[in-house]
Every structure is written in structure tokens, then in C-alpha cells.
Structure 1
Amino acid sequence: MFVTSEIVAGGTADFMAVRHITASGSQVDIGRALAVEAQRTYGWTPAPADHLKARARRAWFARHWPQHFARMQGAAEALGLDPDTDDVYLDGAGGIPVGSACSASFYPPADTIDGRGVLGRNYDFFTTGASELFAMLAGQEAPPSAEMPLSARPYVITSVPEDGPATTVLTMNELDGCMEGINEHGLAVVLNLADAENATGPVGAGPQVGVSSGQLPRFLLDTCRTVQEAKAALLDAKQYDLGVALHYLVADRSGAAFVWERGPGGDEHVVEADGALCMTNHPLHRHLDPAALPADTEETMLTYLRYRTISERSAGAGPSAARMREALDAVRVDAATDTPYPARTLWRTVFDLERCTMATHFYLGDAQDGAPRYSPELEFTIPALQPA
């Protein structure tokens, strides 16, 4: 097994400190390393489990997502537990985001200047700790708290397992899930809040059998090489919301892309478009045309304005990674953004699907004039398998 860990952006004097972990070896080895890290950073301990549900979850993972199943065995080793225990859930190493106002866009290689597919996203989230956030969302006055903001310790995780595929993912606070990522085949996935206008509080039912909303991107990156395989996997997989409902933009290096959405009644939607495909925080199966959008309200977190803006900036001849960055910066959430909640664009990521790279800059705080401070853009690549 080979593991490296380093702070790559920010530090104790900044809003966030970003750690990059590279782990190679077996999936069990990788799961063990991530469990140790989750304990160290987040004080993670496994949640108590319903015995019947714990057994059913292990059986489902073993059949449909063996990579995750093996990493759970590694987590059990790190915790000194029986991997077949029914007393606790051996995943969920961190927490589930309770909502975010993010923007994403994909340019297929046939349309770009250099012929390479580009997927970009802003990750927008609250800048508060958990107690303040939950009180605020409940319409209550937040109690004084010295707790660290939920989003202050994100991770970039590069995994190079012996049984592949290798992946690079970015996560806010859940080390066995992710907010976005790419694998060695050039398949990339990002998640966004799905329905800002009708968003409800976090789902409190706990882990279920199947893939949770925060695990879904990692599930696809572990098990799929192409968009077609991802569609088939999603249509076949048992899924549930843990946190709030999310939707996902999935793209591959060939230029294929789609947005995956699930309705409140369990209906499933594969949304595609000719040319650029954009996604913010409303269901695209209801509102895909940027020229026919409803008006934003206080609750929508400007989803329709952001969608219209990035769609307009993505149109026309010769889009590029540079244009992607400009479009995302145009819808960035900062101190001047009209939003009822304390939030910022915590990072901006641009994936090059041909090169399998992830280039990201991270929010470090606000300057005295209110302008956001960001780290230099860092490029993460998937390395060759390291020797044990």
C-alpha cells in the first residue's frame, strides 16, 4: 500500500484547508486509509445500524458495488470491528451536504477549440457550522458557536486501486462519497441540489439499501467507463436520498453527456441536449430551455438566472476551457450576491476529459473590500499505480 497526504491549499489562517490524499493498493487498503483520515479530521464513528438493513446493504454492495464493499471491510479493520457486524454502518465516513446552490456545464469535444471535452462546476455552499446552519434553515436564531464551518476541511482523494479504475474526486466532508470526480477512462460526474424552489430539510431516515445521493458519483466512477454504461448502471441501481435531493451531470471523453434526475414519485429522467449541457438547481426535465424559465424567488437561490447566464455564455462557436472558467465566474456566489443565506462559491473545478485532469481553485476567505480570495488553480492528475 502507498499513501501520501498533504495540505495543498489554504491553512489555519484561511477559511479552509484542503488536503490531498493519494492512496494505492487494494480497495481494502484504500478504505482503511480513508477511515483513519475520517476519524482524525471529522471524529467519525460509524452510525448504529438496523441489523436487517445492515445485512441487506452489505449484500447489495457486494453484488452491485464491490469496490465500496471492499472499502467498508478496510474501514472495519481500521476501527477494529468485524466486517460482518450488524451493529453499525461501516460507511458514511463524514456527513451528507444539506443543500448547495451550484452551477455546472459541459462542452463536448466536437464544439471546443482544441477538440477536448470540458466539464466545469462551481460548488456553492454555506459558510456556517452545523448548529448555525440547521437553526437558520429552521427559521430560528442561531446560538453562538465556535464550531468549525462544515465546509472548512474538504479533501481531494486520488485512489489507484489494484483492480481499477483509478479516480480523482473532490469532497466537502464525506470521504466515501464525493461532490465531483473523474476516473481514468475520462468519465466525470458532478452533483448539484436538484430543486431549490421546493427544497425541504434533510431526509432523516438514515442509510438505506442501495446508493445514497452523496455516494452516487463515486459509484459511477468506480463501476463505469462511458456515459452509456453510466445510464445503464443508474437505471439498474437502487437509489435513495440521504440529505436533500440531488441531480447529476455525467459526461465522458467521447462527448456524450446527460443529466440524471429522479422525481419525488420515483420517476427517473435522462436529460440530454445538443451542444453544451448546463445544470444549476432546478429540474431540467421541467425547465431545459433557458428562454422559457420561471422567475426566481427568494427560495430558488438564483437558479434560473445562473442557468440562463451560463447557457448564454456557452452558446456560439468555439467554446473552450477559458470560456468555461469565465462563465462559471460570472455566476459565482460572493459577498455581493443577493442570497438570504451566508454562502460562497467554495471552489471552481474544470475537468479535461481527454487528459483526465481536474483543475480547481479554492475559497480562502474575503478580502477587506469584500472580494473573494482564492488559491491558485491546482491541477490534479491520476498517477500510474505506485509500488507497494
Structure 2
Amino acid sequence: MVYFPPETTLNGHAITSRNMEWLLVPMNVYLDKTENGTGKSMFTRNFLIEIYPDQGYSTMAIGGMELNSVIDGLNSEGLGISLLQDEGMDPALEMPVAGDRNSGILSFQITRLVLETCRTVEEAKVAFLANKEFLPVAGVHYMVYDSQGSSAIVEWNKTDGNLYFTDGNSSEPSVMTNHPLYKYSKHGLKDLSEEMNLVSYLYPYDTIKRYVTLSDIIRSHEGKFSEEDTAKVLSEVEANTIVLGGGATSLLPINTIWNVIMDLTDRSLKMKCFLKKGPGDNAIGEETLIFTPYLAFKMNNSIMQQQGA
């Protein structure tokens, strides 16, 4: 994912472009309970929900399991948040059975807490510090960002339990993939590309490769970014491959489930969703991905005004 501060965009809006990718298998296969899973594959029944609470900030949230879980979202104050898997926190399944890191707010629900209670990135940091997160299956990290150009990556160190914030720069886009930025941000791009063993994930979907690719595209871009540019940047790292994931001991298929472009200034978003695999592409040796057209959504200003937003 990439957050584009207002200083970096043609229209002067703060924009986030994010690909959500996951394994195309049922949960019992992901957890290595069986090779022949039953039921729907994970993240095949996704939703976008608008929430206008009596208390708290109005929110547009995207999720894919139960309705309290939020993967991406923005609120009426121009604050947004995205959750991505953090391979530096895996395997979360090996954490203690009781107590310690296995108690607290579910990692998919603290996103909603932040959106409904925080106006700024700084307030979001306080919310993370004041609450304890529970990682039920996979390690995760977050990026919080706002309409004013502030952003921060939020991560835990699974060894000592400490919380780390990596602040973004309001004059350049911020990139996050699936490795802990607090640990590797001191490495230059050249070092990352040469030392792939920083993260032991040597498949085509390698987090370091995607981070370097996104950073190189941004660095070589001339001028400011249009909304179309923000989508194109993420299209260069769409997932359509096989990986080791979860508790599984065999390679599993993974692809991009959705791309969402969130405009924090306009309190709106555009989203395209994966439909099915298409014909094979000889150039890349893979089946193509077929998505819906981008669907546009905007928060209801009249309701927000009634709430005093």
C-alpha cells in the first residue's frame, strides 16, 4: 500500500491506494487442518459498510469476515487506517495459549476503534498505546494517515512486546508491504534488494521485492500523482501466485482481492473487487485476474452535519 500526502498529488488531496491480498482457500486449509477444505474460501464475502453512530465519528469501513472486523477504512474527520499482515510478527500461532499477547482487542477490531474515536494520526497513536491487541491467527501491522499529510506505521516487536511508530514524511509517499518497517527502515533500498534474507520469504510474492518495486516506481515518477497514477502504482505489485501461508505446510494460491483508493480530503473511496480468474497470459505464464469496475462511495454529508462532524 502507498499513502500519498496532499503535497504529492495533482488535486492536493490526501490519497491512499492499497491492494488487499489473501489466500484463496477455506480457513481449515489455511490452518493446516486438512488439505481438502470445506466451505467458502476466505475473503469471498467482503463488504463495505457505512457507520453513523450516535456517539463517535462516522466511518466507511471495508472488511471480509464478521461485521466488526475492519481491514481498510476512513472516517468523517479525514483519518484513515489500513491493516496488513506483518511477517515479522509471524507465526502468531506459536504465542502462549493464555494471557500475555493472547488477550486484548482483536487485531481486526482495533481498526474500527481507531476510526470511531480518533480525529488525527497522533490521537490514533494514543489509542494504540492505551489498548492491548490480540493476534488470533496472523501477525499484522497498520498504517494510519489523515487528510493533513500525517501518517505513521504502527508495529509491535513480538519479542519484547514494545510498540513502534514509524512516521511518514508529508512531502513524499509512504510505502508499507508485509515486513516490519521499524526493523528494516534503516536499510537503504539497495541493501534491501541485495539482502533478501532479511525476511525469509523467497517466493514471487516476497514482501521486500514489492516494497522495493513500489519505492522505485514512486522515486522515478515525474511530477505529482493523479488518482489514476495511484491505482497504476499498486497494479504493478498485484498478487497472482502461490505462497506458504498461515499454518499450511504446502503452497497455496494467493491473489489480489480488492484495490481501494481512499480520498481522505473528500471523505470518499473507489474500490474494485476480484471476480474470477481469466484466460492465461503467455507473457507472464499465469491466469489473468478479472475485477469489477471501480465502484465509488462517499460519506453522507447531511448525516455528518447532523452529528456535528
The code of the aligned residue for 1:270 comes to F
Q: In the alignment, does 2:232 pair up with 1:314?
A: no
Greater mean deviation of Cα atoms: 351-360 or 232-241: 232-241
Distance in 1 between residues matched to 2:135 and 2:240, nearest whole Å:
28
Contact 2:86 2:140 in 1 (8 A): yes
Q: In the alignment, does 2:137 pair up with 1:238?
A: no
| Count of residue pairs the alignment pairs up | 278
Distance in 2 between residues matched to 1:230 and 1:181, nearest whole Å:
13
Please, which of 256, 259, 269 is the counterpart of residue 358 of structure 1? 269
Question: How many Å apart are 1:236 and its aligned residue?
Answer: 2.2
Q: TM-score, normalised by structure 1?
A: 0.66
Please, which of 196, 214, 238 is the counterpart of residue 295 of structure 1? 196
Listed as ranges, the matches of 1:169-180 within 5 Å are 169-180=61-72
Residue 345 of structure 1: aligned partner: 256
Contact 1:258 1:272 in 2 (8 A): yes
Identity of aligned residues (%): 23
Distance in 2 between residues matched to 1:331 and 1:197, nearest whole Å:
22
Listed as ranges, the matches of 1:206-217 within 5 Å are 210-217=104-111
Residue 233 of structure 2: aligned partner: 327
Specify which structure has the bigger relative contact order, considering alpha-carbon pairs within 8 angstroms and separated by 6 or more residues: 2
Distance in 2 between residues matched to 1:181 and 1:358, nearest whole Å:
9
Question: How many Å apart are 1:298 and its aligned residue?
Answer: 4.1
Structure 2 stretches lacking a partner, 5+ long: 245-250, 281-286
Question: How many Å apart are 1:196 and its aligned residue?
Answer: 5.5
Q: In the alignment, does 2:51 pair up with 1:150?
A: no
Decide whether aligned partners of structure 1 residues 304 and 343 sit closer, same or farther in structure 2, where only a CA change above 3 A counts: same
Q: TM-score, normalised by structure 2?
A: 0.82
Distance in 1 between residues matched to 2:214 and 2:50, nearest whole Å:
29
Residue 290 of structure 2: aligned partner: 373
Over the aligned positions, Cα root-mean-square deviation in angstroms equals 2.4
Distance in 1 between residues matched to 2:114 and 2:164, nearest whole Å:
17
Structure 1 stretches lacking a partner, 5+ long: 1-103
Greater mean deviation of Cα atoms: 315-324 or 112-121: 315-324
Decide whether aligned partners of structure 1 residues 162 and 156 sit closer, same or farther in structure 2, where only a CA change above 3 A counts: same
Contact 1:128 1:150 in 2 (8 A): yes
Distance in 1 between residues matched to 2:98 and 2:297, nearest whole Å:
33
Contact 2:19 2:234 in 1 (8 A): yes
Listed as ranges, the matches of 1:106-125 within 5 Å are 106-125=3-22
The code of the aligned residue for 2:288 comes to A
Q: In the alignment, does 2:170 pair up with 1:271?
A: no
Contact 1:202 1:244 in 2 (8 A): no
